[in-house]
Amino acid sequence: MIQSGFLGHRNFLWLKVNAALVLAMLAGYVVDQPIGGRNGGTWLGYAYGIFAALAIVYLTWFAIRKRSYYSTAGTVKGWLSLHSWLGIALIIVVPLHCGFSFGLNVHTLAFALMVIVTLSGIWGAFAYVALAPRIESHRGGVKANELREKIERLSREIGELAPTCGEEFERAQKSTKPGDYRNGVKILFQSRPQEPDRALLGRALSSLPEAERPRGEALIARIGERYSAASQLYDESRVLAMLRVWIFIHAPLAAALLAALAAHIIAVFYFR
């Protein structure tokens, strides 16, 4: 599953590239024996710090680059793969940058925020890999807008048919009428569409006079169709809403990291 998702993009290309990079940087760290000990202020420390800072700017720029990676499969999927593995690699690169020296200061605040962003990123990546396949429209199925149109059309037809089929049908159609599933996080507080009570509908059908049965059957078929379209729309909208909520955590944390990083760089240049 992970292999087919963005993390395993092109046979784990970006995992391999970042692992090679981290190993090379580790080797550099071990070989380098600066006078005064390893820290962010040696030439190697500066090089690794600048690398990490540029990587963070690049990772944040992703907010502009991305948007709907599955629909433009290939390109953005590759970017997201690099995004994830580079973010994880930084967890090792930054301690190498500062010679594993941490304290209660703005420098360590930047590192701590980076770790939190990365952890939230890992959580989100798992959510994407697990949830994205559930969104049929990502797999070339029916899009949410088409589902909405279908539900509206069915509701119109049901609204016309139901009153001519008696009170029981009218009640059944009302109780299975789906909510208004718009885009947005509101869906997380809405309940799932109610499944039609097939036994009740069957009884209602058999109580209809022979001549009206075809109309009753058509109505039952439409109620069933509306239910499955509404369930699909509901499930997909919920997945999208959950991912949206997660982005609202990951992205502001990334912004806070950028601010702390700017403070760190200003602090080391002006206040040392």
CA 128, 131, 135, 136 torsion-angle sign? positive
State which H helix or E strand residue 255 sits in: helix 213-270
Q: Rounded to whole angstroms, how far apart are CA atoms 74 and 9?
A: 8
What's the rounded Cα separation, in Å, for the pair 11 and 176?
46
239 binds ligand HEM (CB under 6 A): no
Which of 5, 15, 38, 121: binder of ligand HEM (CB under 6 A)?
A: 121
CB 161 within 8 A of CB 219: yes
Alpha-carbon torsion angle 128, 130, 133, 137, nearest 10? -50
Smallest separation (angstroms) from ligand HEM to the CB of 137 = 15
For ligand HEM, which residue of 19, 21, 60, 200 counts as binding (CB under 6 A)?
60
- Window contacting ligand HEM (CB under 6 A); options: 54-62, 137-145, 169-177, 179-187: 54-62
Stretch that binds ligand HEM, among 18-26, 173-181, 185-193, 259-267 (CB under 6 A): 259-267
Quick one: which of 80, 144, 187, 229 contacts ligand HEM (CB under 6 A)? 80
Residue 271 neighbours by CB under 8 Å, 6+ apart: none
Other CB atoms within 10 Å distance of the CB of residue 37 = 9
Please report, as ranges, the residues that interact with ligand HEM according to CB under 6 A: 39-41, 46, 49-50, 52-53, 56, 59-60, 62-63, 66, 69, 80, 83-84, 87-88, 90, 94, 97-98, 101-103, 105, 107-108, 110-111, 114, 117-118, 121-122, 124-125, 128, 247, 250-251, 254, 257, 261, 264-265, 268, 272
